[in-house]
Structure 1
């Protein structure tokens, strides 16, 4: 599934441009991907993406997470990561719901559309303090998303 076309997402070269990269703490890695990354494969399949998890990548012991796939899938996953790391309990609860959904079932056009409408406000630089390094999402030419790009 790529941009909701009949072609599988992995057959579209543009889905491999500008991977999303972020650095997370060990506890968040285990929360998201499970012990021994047991949920990694189901998250990849259900979100139409390929995720590389490199544990203990930095001197601080953080994990580098790289994601390739359709823009909407990377955006949805970024929103999930952002929500799970948010200090607000309602935002964190939303992130947990998103996590359970992607671990257990295929994401739909409706899921991706909902994520776009509920994007985090990146004017709030507290996101940058919870994720280390650079988080990049490429910008879709026909769309103007307020949090696409690097921050």
Structure 2
């Protein structure tokens, strides 16, 4: 049974894990790369990250998928880092993102995985226009002792752009 890192309850029994869901829009190609054809990898990513992920196709000109993630804050942060890394224009960051994706597809994330500070910087790899992703909810997380800065995920809201 999956347990929350802050209590002995299952993660879905901790109300704080449902505060501020992370919502992103992905291009169809990136959604398939991460979640697999017909979302074949969705369930194992959910189980291994102790999150609930909802995928909704949106009728936009670019065929985007709305991805909503709830669960423990560090797991949501880790998944956002993985999503941004997989879609990065930088080949080194993209390679790291693919390794993260393989990790979460193959085994449950550990405390050590979640303790690694995020490395994706918004100025280099997570611009919504650069990877076809727009973020509509800012993920605010308490500063973990291993993290050096709170600005790890400082995104531009897509609604601010014409």
The reply to whether TM is greater than 0.5 is yes
The counterpart of 2:151, out of the listed 141, 146, 149, is 146
Instruction: Spell out the pairing of 1:1-151 with structure 2 (5 A cutoff).
Output: 1-114=3-116, 117-124=117-124, 126-129=126-129, 130=131, 131-140=133-142, 145-148=150-153, 151=156
Aligned length: 149
Gaps of 5+ in 1: none
Q: Shift in Å at residue 134 of structure 1?
A: 1.5
CA contact (8 A) 2:28 2:64 kept: yes
| Consecutive aligned runs of 4 or more in structure 1 exceeding 4 Å deviation | 123-126, 141-144
CA RMSD of aligned residues (A): 2.0
TM-score, normalisation: structure 2: 0.82
Q: Shift in Å at residue 29 of structure 1?
A: 0.7
Gaps of 5+ in 2: 157-162
Aligned with 1:51: secondary structure? strand
TM-score, normalisation: structure 1: 0.88
